Structure 1
Amino acid sequence: MADYARLISGPKGTPVWFIDRHPMRVFKWSPEFDAYCESPIAAIWYNLIGLPIHLFDHAALFAIGKLFGTPIQVDRATASKSRLSFARICIEIDITKPPPEEIILDICGRETVQQVKWDKIPAYCLECRHVGHSSEVCYAAGKVERPPKRNYNNVTPRQQHHGINGSQGGNVPTNHKDRKQQGKGKEMEAQSSRGPDASDPLDREWSGPDIMGDF
């Protein structure tokens, strides 16, 4: 059941998966399935803020979930009661209808207002019957201009590197070989600027007394 909820609710709380940059919707099959229309039934997570601890029961949580739609599962922290600040439940709802932000619970004959906080609910277009945009911005219905098609086969060429301070005259190494050659050139310039007297101290001949003796 956990795998089913993960597939239905999507990777980031939205019921859309991207396969090679192409959107794919996963939902439960029904006899009314139409390949050209997306179902408005989606799995959404919601939180019951400040729910009384005696309602952290599987049967009670599913009974509350049936007030909104079809409950699927509760998260691990809710099931183990390791986080009592809110209960988290995943349910299937009709995303064309606005979900309630609070409900009235009858607890032992006393009515209690229960706050409900929903995860991001994707928009659903009633014009083209697809998930991802609302009817007000549907280009299929002629509400807005159709966006240009993306061409994923063309790769934008990299811009040429400029010199320091944005000047085009400077030569900037673009690969490892150019950087290595440039480093050797700078080293030769540094040695030539020091002159013959500025050689490496390790190459100088010792002019003091002979303390090693003859070997």
Structure 2
Amino acid sequence: MKKGLRGLYYSRNEMDEMVAPLKFALVGKFSSGTPSIARIRARFAFWSSKDFSPSAESLVVPVWVSLLNLPVAFFHRKSIHNIACLLGSPLKIDEPTTDYTRPSFARVCVEVNHLDPLVNDIWLGDDDGDITQKVMYKNLPLYCPTCSHYGHVERNCLLKAPKNKNTPDVDSTSQEDLRIILDKKKSKLVEQPS
């Protein structure tokens, strides 16, 4: 740790090793065919678990992370993987990052646990110095610890909201009953002088 941040340090030799593939780089893009069944199975193998419960939502979610203005020397697959390990469990590095075709930022997909605090800054260093790297999470799903479901935050949770005694329970009231109640409320509003 340095400056209170999680980080990685690379020696001059490690930096030279990571930059070596770029020495005579000529970037091209080729479409690849369908992946093999073995490769597909390997991607989904992490989903199997003895503790799996269909009624409980997983606390671990895949999230794309962007590293804006990451120095190109750190675009090496090994470095991106090590950086991803500081944030969660690495799942995938996007093609433009591994192909060095988008030098403005690197992207990696990591599994993050909603109970763990998100890492917003990391430091990276080598023999020439160090930098603080900002970490940006893309489309992090909303999570409610009260009901353990995704899609909303705790302050909007229906389980946590106090029940209003004047509000009918929608599950036990038919649509016709709701229409009558709403019509009565509308007529009371019209009758009241403003």
TM-score range normalised by the length of the shorter chain = 0.5 to 0.7
Matched residues in 1 for 2:85 and 2:163: separation?
Answer: 38
Residue 92 of structure 1 pairs with residue 111 of structure 2? yes
Does residue 108 of structure 1 match 2:130?
no
2:86 aligned residue (61, 64, 67): 67
Deviations 1:40-75 (A, max 9, x none): 100000111111111111111000000011001111
Distance 1:37 1:109 in 2: 48
Q: Relative CO higher for 1 or 2, CA cutoff 8 Å, sep ≥ 6?
A: 2
Match of 1:191?
Answer: none
Q: 1:144 to 1:49 in 2, by over 3 A?
A: farther
CA separation in 2, counterparts of 1:100 and 1:88? 15
Question: Corresponding residue for 1:28?
Answer: 47
Q: SS of the residue aligned with 2:135?
A: strand
Deviations 1:119-170 (A, max 9, x none): 0111111111111111222112345779968xxxxxxxxxxxxxxxxxxxxx
Contact 1:138 1:144 in 2 (8 A): no
Matched, 1:132 2:151: yes
Normalized per residue, which structure has more helix?
2
Gaps of 5+ in 1: 8-26, 150-215
Cα gap change, 1:144 to 1:84, in 2 (>3 Å)? farther
Give the aligned partner of residue 120 of structure 1. Answer: 139
SS of the residue 1:65 aligns to: helix
Q: Secondary structure at the match of 1:66?
A: helix
Question: Residue 100 of structure 2 aligns to which amino acid in structure 1?
Answer: K
Give distance in 2, aligned partners of 1:76 and 1:108: 29
Amino acid at match of 1:29: S
Distance 1:79-1:127 versus aligned 2 partners, 3 A rule: same
Q: Which runs of 4+ in 1 moved over 6 A?
A: 1-4, 144-147
Paired residue for 2:77?
58
Tell me the TM-score normalised to structure 1 length: 0.52
The residue type paired with residue 60 of structure 1 is: S
Q: CA deviation at 1:77?
A: 0.6
User: Partners of 1:32 and 1:136 in 2: how far apart?
Assistant: 29
> Aligned to 2:134, what secondary structure does the other structure show?
strand
Counterpart residue type for residue 108 of structure 1: D
Q: Structure 2: how far apart are the matches of 1:31 and 1:148?
A: 37
Q: What number of residue pairs does the alignment pair up?
A: 130
CA RMSD of aligned residues (A): 3.1
TM-score, length of structure 2 as denominator length: 0.57
Q: Aligned with 1:35: secondary structure?
A: coil
Report the Cα offset of residue 3 of structure 1: 6.3
Which runs of 5 or more residues in structure 2 are unaligned?
1-34, 172-194
Matched letter for residue 85 of structure 2: K
- On the 8 A contact 1:95/1:121 being kept in 2, the answer is no
Q: Offset of 1:102 from its aligned partner?
A: 1.6
- Asked if structure 2 preserves the Cα contact closer than 8 Å seen for 1:124 and 1:134, the reply is yes
